[in-house]
Amino acid sequence: MRFDIKGYREPEGVLVASFEAASIEEARLLAGEQGIRVLSVSKNWRDSFTFFQRSHFDLQLFSQELHALLDAGLSLIESLTALAGKESAPQKRALLDHLMQRLREGRPLSAVLQDRPDIFPPLYISLVGASERTGDLKSALSRYIAYRGQMDAVKKKVVSASIYPALLILVGGLVVLFLMGYVVPRFSRIYGDFGRDIPLMSRLLIQWGALVEAYGLQVFAVLVAVLGGLWTLSRRHVDRQRLMEGLLASKVLRERFHSYELARFYRTLGMLQQGGIPIVTALTMASGLLGQRGGEALGGTMRDVRAGTPLSEALQRHGLAPAVAYDLLRVGEKAGDIGEKMIRIADFLDEDLSRWLDWFSRLFEPLLMLGIGLFIAFVVVLLYLPVFELAGNIQ
């Protein structure tokens, strides 16, 4: 990111200078190194609207490349230098330069990563910090890469199962909007002189068409406002939680979503345990992966664990350990490989969710198509019903 700094320096006086830096603090430091007393700092947005330059930092790709270079025998500084040398995006190169500068100052990598919490999540920083105690950064990166790969695979399955129904709803909605916003108003003109000689449902539909004909812009504005309000609510965390609770009114969907949360929860716990993170700390870090009810249950679990209760019993007591999970946790506690058992629990839950998604999509997609088709057919029949009755009266 490029920053414009307004400052004062002898003998020029007040001046404006631009610096490429990863953060405002780094831009201030760079200006201070050149003898500039900083008066104000602002982001330069001119380079932020390029269409062919990705500004998003891909943490998964960064971890893979860093792991490959470390595995090839390069040191951490040498690996970051090689990554910065091939990077063409100014923002990413500035971030890598920032990391190398701080590492040369003698700071540990985990402390350096904490300077950019917007890019490096606490989970990642904790793994790196634990690896610094053992000197095995490659293993920590490998665990994170596998973890992200599994998490992304589950998300892709959910998204791919939602694409076709979403397209059906979109196309069906457009067809319905065309019928209700264009076709029905045209028919309302034709049937305007029929009065009450047409069936009730057809008469209501025609009245809707007359309303759209007379107040089309207002109806369109209300529709856009409603859709915009729903979009705004979906972007807010609290309202998104309420919306999710409304969508999960069905017991079956609620149970499946809970299984999805538990799979992410156990996979994260397993990775943290394999990385050497204490169990209470790992539970605290993974608490954000559960919903409100799951968070309350996890709070009780942590209290029991601090009181000396085995993890398997604490999780089962608060409803966070299905039968299979409880058995595997008990075996892991006895064998001392509870992290590996948690990964297996997550795999089991993910496979069960994948089978259910496949079954649900096979059942839901035909029913959705049938429902949209029946609704469109119902509207068309209501439109032509007065014509049918008129033809019967003529006969």
Average pLDDT over residues 121-141: 83
pLDDT at 50 over 60: no
Give the pLDDT confidence score for residue 54 in this predicted structure. Answer: 41
The arrangement of secondary structure in 2-47, i.e. its CATH architecture, is Roll (3.10)
Better-scored residue on pLDDT, 292 or 147: 147
Percent share of the chain, pLDDT over 90: 0
Average pLDDT over residues 149-159: 80
Q: Answer yes or no: are the C-beta atoms of 166 and 353 closer than 8 Å.
A: no
Contact 154, 260 (CB under 8 A): yes
pLDDT, average across residues 274-292: 79
pLDDT of 162 over the 70 cut: yes
pLDDT digits (tens, 9 = 90+) for 71-94: 888 888 888 888 888 777 778 888
Summary count for the chain: helices (H), strands (E) = 17, 3
Q: Which residues pair with 4 in a beta bridge?
A: 18, 42
Q: What is the pLDDT of residue 240?
A: 52
At residue 390, does pLDDT exceed 70? Answer: no
User: Is cis: bond before 11, omega within 30 of 0?
Assistant: yes
3-state secondary structure of 249: coil
Confidence of residue 243 (pLDDT cuts 50, 70, 90): low
Q: Which residue has the higher pLDDT, 287 or 121?
A: 121
Q: What is the pLDDT of residue 49?
A: 42
Instruction: Assess whether the region 2-47 and the region 165-395 belong to the same CATH fold.
Output: no
Amino acid 246: pLDDT: 58
Q: Is the pLDDT of residue 222 over 70?
A: yes
Model confidence at 121: pLDDT above 80: yes
Higher pLDDT, 278 or 194: 278
pLDDT tens-digit series, residues 252-273: 777 878 888 888 888 888 888 8
Domain ranges of the chain: 2-47, 59-146, 165-395
**More reliable by pLDDT, 389 or 50:** 389
- Indicate the CATH number for domain 59-146: 1.20.81.30
Burial 265-281 (b: 16+ CB within 10 A, else e): bbbbbbbbbbbbbeeee
- Average pLDDT on 360-384 reads 84
The whole-angstrom separation of Cα 257 and Cα 246 is 13
Whether residue 110 has pLDDT greater than 80: yes
Distance CA(163)–CA(285), nearest Å, equals 32
Q: Where does the pLDDT of residue 234 fall: very low under 50, low under 70, confident under 90, or very high at 90 and above? A: low
**Average pLDDT over all residues of the chain:** 78
- More confident of the two residues 112 and 287: 112
Asked if the 165-395 domain carries CATH number 1.10.3720.10, the reply is no
Residue 175, judged by CB atoms within 10 A of its CB (0-12, 13-18, 19+), counts as middle
Q: Are 38 and 83 in contact (CB under 8 A)?
A: no
> What is the pLDDT, as a whole number, of residue 66?
87
Stronger pLDDT, 292 or 109, i.e. the higher one: 109
Q: Tell me: pLDDT of 53 over 50.
A: no
Q: Is the pLDDT confidence value at 199 over 80?
A: no
Contact criterion met (CB below 8 Å) for 209 and 188: yes
